[in-house]
Chain A
Amino acid sequence: MTGTAKLRMAILLAVIAGLALVPFVVGEFYLLLMTKIAALAILAISLDLLLGYSGMISFGHAAFLGVGAYAGAMLAPEYEAANMLITLPLSIAAATLVAFLIGVLAIRTSGIYFIMVTLAFAQMAFYVAHDTPFFGGSDGRLIFSKPQVRLGDMVLADLSGNEIYYYTTLGFLIVSYLCLTMIVRSPFGQIIQGIKSNEQRMRALGFPTDKYRLASFVIAGAFAGLAGYLLAYQAEYVSPAMLGWQQSGLLLMMVILGGSGTLWGPAVGAFLLIAVEEFLADLTGHWMGLMGLFIVLIVIFLPHGLAGLAARIYRPTEAEVDDD
């Protein structure tokens, strides 16, 4: 293990330890908020797999969040707790399937078209949730209790407490982070990064680049489905706004704010963006406009996010080379 790897590991463990202490320090409101942030962080790092490693700018990532969330809500029985061992894999499977269907069409394009196509298909998913009575229409759906982990009739864990649900979400975040880190370091991850930097070269080397891009899109969709499921049970409510284009835009902003292509950056970005959102919402009812202003300023003055800023402070010369 090199020095930097040791340092990274130490920072990661310190952050996890800090996050594990959160329920002992903060009240119920902030615990719920931290749970939401942990779930959104899973979304942000899964989107970073597309943005930072595969070079695919998806403006429709909220669609898979929505599919995971709605699947979780629809599978929940009305008067008893859902079994997570059954409903979670099914929700992830639903998000994976939708990601595959949209992905098959979307990966036929790239660049600017890819942005527009993913935005349009996500909006279609929004209208499905919004306009069909089956999914609850514009009112959305309520979930009546948090899930349990059950084997047969034996309850292994009841996630109805806020603290245990926070730890569950945090656990999934850590597992997702480790999984995605392994994915980007694996041969598969090297290939998608190769496609990002020069697709034609990778195709000339004999890689079926479309299949790799589709695989990357579907993996990201699966993690988004997981995060959607967790978010749905955190709020105990799903609504079409979860899959709207505004949600997709906020997810992109989390990745950019933290710094794409780092995985840890987008997780920090999720935390910061929600913190800013809460701060502005406390300040004024017109916080959405201020959020827009914040986004405009970040894009103009901090386009490489905090990770870019950190890199510039830490290694000024290299950052300047990267900037080109």
Chain B
Amino acid sequence: MPPPAKKRGRLFIWHKHMELSFYLIQALNGVQYGFLLFLVASGLTLVFGVMGIINLAHGSFYMIGAYLAYWLSAMTGNLFIAVLLGLPLSIAVGFAVERFCISFLYARDHLEQVLLTYGLILIFNEGQRILWGNDVYGVAIPNWLSGSITLTDTQSYPVYRLFISFACIAVAVGLYFLIHKTRLGMTIRAGASNREMAQALGIDINNLFAAVFALGAGLAAFSGMIAAPVEAVYPGIGENILVVSLVIVVIGGIGSIRGAFAGAMMIGLADAFGKTLAPDYASFIVYGVMAAVLVWRPQGIFGGSPQ
């Protein structure tokens, strides 16, 4: 056995190994982004499923979360304290928006809903410009999460990204228990399947709607907060996530939490692999996936009849 052949063989294995870890890292990135998108999109789809409201200002709550994470963690020096303070604040904003704006819309058509929530985006963006200006901010990763896990000699994976995935899983499990195992969840399910019947049974639909809307706002804001250290905090961040969330909801079928999960994972993985394999076309891949689903199942993967 001549030595060159052996060397070639080893070289080949090493390459294959690197390829594998490369794909693993992209898959992990995609899954992590997918989990994050799932949290945002599930809020959007929950609000639609229960209240019949399409909320374009959903991305604004993500934006509010991201800026609060920056602002409060700069003041307190700790991202977790920022989340603990910022989350109730964003939920309160969501509650106020429902009471003072969204509550006018329940008997109105979708056009008026999108226009009013479009107006809200303009208001929130102006608030962001007034409070924080047009600068781009970064948020520091907490020390104990700032390390990396070594995968090979040359490749490693940041701990914080794993933390995002686990945090999203925890929230998703919590959401599942809230909806399926608690009294509030029972009324949410009742309201989603038959609003009049739920009302006739004595459920206060106004309080329920306010709670669901605030919950949706909280999900979006929480996503914005924990994503802030890996993405920069910049003007327009809310609109970017809104459009991706709309695509996910179209793919999964609106009102379906399962659909939001499937859509979010598809988009997360497509985005992660698209960015590395075809960087020139990365921003279009998301829409390509949506176009393909529209051809295949216009009502979305888990959607009912196209309405």
Interface residues in chain A, defined as those with a beta carbon under 8 Å from any beta carbon in chain B: 51, 57, 59, 105-106, 108-113, 115-117, 119-121, 123-124, 127-128, 131, 245-246, 249, 252-253, 256, 286, 288-296, 299-300, 303
Q: Which among A110, A124, A249, A290 is the interface contact of B115 at CB below 8 angstroms?
A: A249
Given contacts A120-B250, A288-B122, contact A113 B307 (CB under 8 A): yes
Chain A interface, >50% SS class = helix
Flag if A120 contacts B119 (CB, 8 Å).
no
Residues in B whose Cβ lies below 8 Å from that of A303: 108, 112
Given contacts A57-B111, A105-B291, contact A116 B119 (CB under 8 A): no
Give B11-32 as 1s and 0s: 1 = Cβ < 8 Å from A's Cβ atoms: 0000000000000000000000
Flag if B243 contacts A119 (CB, 8 Å).
yes
A157 CB to nearest B CB, Å: 40
State the CA gap A286–B130 with chains docked (Å): 8
A244 CB to nearest B CB, Å: 9
Flag if A113 contacts B254 (CB, 8 Å).
yes
Give B75-91 as 1s and 0s: 1 = Cβ < 8 Å from A's Cβ atoms: 00000000000000000
Interface residues in chain B, defined as those with a beta carbon under 8 Å from any beta carbon in chain A: 48, 54, 101, 104, 108, 110-112, 114-116, 118-127, 129-130, 239, 243, 246-247, 249-250, 254, 283-284, 287, 290-291, 294-295, 298-300, 306-307
State the CA gap A106–B295 with chains docked (Å): 10
Flag if A252 contacts B111 (CB, 8 Å).
yes
Given contacts A112-B48, A127-B284, contact A296 B119 (CB under 8 A): yes
A-B CB proximity, top 4 nearest: A289-B126, A292-B122, A295-B119, A292-B123
Q: Which among A124, A131, A296 is the interface contact of B116 at CB below 8 angstroms?
A: A296
State the CA gap A121–B290 with chains docked (Å): 9
State the CA gap A289–B119 with chains docked (Å): 8
Residues in A whose Cβ lies below 8 Å from that of B124: 292
A295 CB to nearest B CB, Å: 3
- Name A297's closest neighbour in chain B (CB-CB): B119
Flag if A300 contacts B115 (CB, 8 Å).
no
State the CA gap A128–B288 with chains docked (Å): 13
Give 18 A-B contacts (CB < 8 Å), ordered by A residue. Answer: A51-B111, A108-B295, A110-B307, A113-B254, A115-B54, A116-B54, A116-B246, A124-B283, A127-B284, A245-B239, A245-B243, A253-B118, A256-B115, A288-B122, A289-B122, A289-B126, A292-B120, A299-B116
State the CA gap A8–B123 with chains docked (Å): 38
Residues in A whose Cβ lies below 8 Å from that of B115: 249, 252-253, 256, 295, 299
State the CA gap A123–B116 with chains docked (Å): 20
Flag if B125 contacts A112 (CB, 8 Å).
no
Q: Which among A110, A119, A121, A252 is the interface contact of B306 at CB below 8 angstroms?
A: A110
Residues in B whose Cβ lies below 8 Å from that of A117: 250, 290, 294
Residues in B whose Cβ lies below 8 Å from that of A112: 48, 54, 110, 254, 307
Flag if A120 contacts B247 (CB, 8 Å).
yes
- Name B291's closest neighbour in chain A (CB-CB): A105
Flag if A121 contacts B246 (CB, 8 Å).
no
Which of A59, A252, A295 has most chain B Cβ within 10 Å? A295
Residues in A whose Cβ lies below 8 Å from that of B298: 108-109, 113
State the CA gap A131–B285 with chains docked (Å): 14
State the CA gap A109–B101 with chains docked (Å): 28
A274 CB to nearest B CB, Å: 16
B123 CB to nearest A CB, Å: 4
Flag if A293 contacts B287 (CB, 8 Å).
no
Residues in A whose Cβ lies below 8 Å from that of B249: 116
A109-B294, A113-B299 are known; give 7 further A-B pairs, CB within 8 A: A59-B114, A110-B306, A116-B54, A120-B250, A289-B123, A293-B123, A295-B118
A118 CB to nearest B CB, Å: 10
Residues in A whose Cβ lies below 8 Å from that of B119: 291-296, 299
Residues in B whose Cβ lies below 8 Å from that of A295: 115-116, 118-119, 122
B71 CB to nearest A CB, Å: 19
Flag if A119 contacts B246 (CB, 8 Å).
yes
Flag if A296 contacts B101 (CB, 8 Å).
yes
State the CA gap A109–B249 with chains docked (Å): 13
Residues in B whose Cβ lies below 8 Å from that of A127: 283-284
A227 CB to nearest B CB, Å: 21
Q: Which among B110, B121, B247 is the interface contact of A111 at CB below 8 angstroms?
A: B110
Residues in A whose Cβ lies below 8 Å from that of B294: 105-106, 108-109, 117
Which of A111, A113, A128 has most chain B Cβ within 10 Å? A113
State the CA gap A131–B243 with chains docked (Å): 17
Residues in B whose Cβ lies below 8 Å from that of A108: 294-295, 298, 306
